[in-house]
A = this chain, B = another copy of it.
C-alpha cells in the first residue's frame, strides 16, 4: 500500500508524553488556583459564526483568522477567548449572576507566519470578572494576587507584576494638551525598553511632532521610578490638573494599598508608568508580568480593566477586568530555558507489575486491581519479552517501582518491590507495598513544576 507521510503542521505544538505530563500539571495548577478565587470554568466552541466572531472587525487579527465555509455557513476559528466570552455573556446575561467570574483554558487559532516559538494553535488561560453596569475597583486590586498565587504555585519567585492605570496615562496627556496624540505617543513610549530614552525623545519630536519641552515632560514622567510608595508620591505632584488623572491615581493607590492584605509581597509588584497594553480596549488598571531573569521573554501574563465587554452585541454595559496567560508560548519558553523541573514524575505509571510466568497472572491482575484501588497508577506488563526488555521498558519510561510476582511470592502472600532509582528490592505484603510506594511517590512529587535555578 502506498504510504502518506505522516506529519504535524508547523506552528502546532504536539508534545511527547513526558513534556505533555508537565503541561497537564501546569494546567491543573491553573485550574486549581483560578477556582480558589471563585472563577467558574467555561468551555465555548472553537468554531463560531464569522459574523459574530468578527463583529469588531480588526485589521491585523482578521488576516490571521482561519475562516471557511461549510454548507451555507461562514465560519471561523476563535482567535482569542475574549470575543467568545463577550458573546457568551451577551447571550446568557439573563441567566448569569454578576459579577460573573469565569476562567477558560482553551485553544485559539491564528494563522501567523510560522517561526520558532510562534504557534498557530495555542492555549490561552484567561480569567475575567464581568460586572453589570459597574464593577468595584477591589476586583482590579485582586488580580495581582491571583497572578502572584498562580506563579508561586508553579514554582516561580523571580517575577514581577507591573501595573499601570490608563486613566493616569490619558490624564497626563490631557494635562499636556496632547490627548489627540496619546495613541502615537504611547506607541513610541512602548519602545523604551528596546530603543532607550534618547531615541524615544527623538521619535517623539521628529516623528510624532511633539515639542521638545513636552517631550522632556513625557520622558520625566515615564522615568518616575523607585518603590511603589515613591512612585505614588511623585505622581501626587501632578494631581489637580486633570480629573481623569486624579481618578486614575486614586485607583492605582487603592490597588497598591490593598496588596499587602492580598498577600502580594512588595518585591513581586511594581507600578510601571511605561506599560499601556494596546490602545483602545483597556480603560483602567493594566497588568504585565515579567520574569526577572528573562526579560527577553516579555510579558507572560497580561490584561487589564475594560469598560465594555460586549458593545458589539448588546447595549448592556458590561465592564470587566481580566488577564490572560499565553500558555503554549510560556510552556515552550520554559522548556527552552530548561526551567521545567525534570525531577517531577512524568512516567505514565507509578508501578510496573511483572507476573513471572502464566501461573502468576491471576495474582498479578488481582494485585494491580488492589493497587489501583489505593490510587496507585499501575501498568500490568504481560507482553512476552525477555526479562531484561521488561526492565528496560520501566527504565525508559522512568516508572519508579517494579513489582515481581512469582510462585514464591504468591505462596507467601507477598510481592517483591524494586525501587529502580536505588535498586533496592524487598518482599512485602500488598499493604506494605502500598505504604512504601505511596511514601515514595509523595517524596517524588514534592518539587514544583518550574524551577528557577539549574
- Residues of A at the B interface (CB closer than 8 Å) are 1, 3-9, 12-17, 20-21, 23-24, 35-49, 51-52, 55, 66-71, 73, 75, 86-88, 90-92, 95-97, 99, 101-102, 107, 109, 111, 120-121, 131, 134-136, 138-139, 142, 145, 149, 258, 261-263, 310-315, 348-349, 361-363, 365-366, 369, 372-373, 375-380, 382-384, 393, 396-397
Contact = CB atoms under 8 A, between A and B. Distances in A.
Contacts of A3: 312-315
A282 B183 CA distance: 62
Contacts of A91: 6-8
B36 A378 contact: yes
Contact of A17 (B42, B99, B134, B258): B42
Contacts of A71: 111
Nearest to A367: B261
A362 B43 CA distance: 34
B365 A261 contact: yes
Given A40-B20, A91-B8, A121 B366 contact: no
A96 to B, nearest CB: 7
A3 B43 CA distance: 24
Q: Which 5 A-B pairs have the closest CB atoms?
A: A38-B379, A68-B68, A38-B349, A40-B348, A261-B365
Contacts of A383: 99, 131, 134-136
Contacts of A120: 47
Which of A6, A86, A315 has the largest number of chain B CB atoms within 10 A? A6
Given A40-B17, A52-B6, A383-B99, A377 B35 contact: yes
A139 B111 CA distance: 41
Given A3-B313, A9-B73, A17 B102 contact: yes
Contacts of A313: 3-6
A372 B70 contact: no
Contacts of A39: 348
Nearest to A90: B6
Contacts of A6: 52, 86-87, 90-91, 310, 313-314
Contacts of A13: 45
A41 B24 contact: yes
Contacts of A101: 348, 379
B37 A379 contact: yes
A164 B19 CA distance: 37
A427 B54 CA distance: 52
Nearest to A56: B4
A39 B347 CA distance: 10
Contacts of A9: 45, 47-49, 73, 75
B258 A361 contact: yes
Contacts of A23: 43
B45 A1 contact: no
A443 B45 CA distance: 34
Contact of A4 (B52, B149, B375, B384): B52
Contacts of A136: 382-384
A366 B262 CA distance: 6
25 contacts: A1-B311, A4-B55, A4-B312, A6-B87, A6-B91, A7-B52, A7-B87, A7-B91, A9-B47, A14-B43, A16-B95, A24-B41, A35-B377, A36-B375, A38-B348, A38-B380, A46-B107, A46-B121, A66-B70, A68-B69, A97-B393, A131-B383, A136-B382, A258-B361, A263-B369
A353 to B, nearest CB: 10
Nearest to A91: B6
A23 B35 CA distance: 15
Given A6-B90, A17-B42, A39-B348, A12 B51 contact: no
Contact of A47 (B12, B37, B41): B12
A138 B46 contact: no
A21 B43 contact: no
A4 B315 CA distance: 11
A63 B109 CA distance: 24
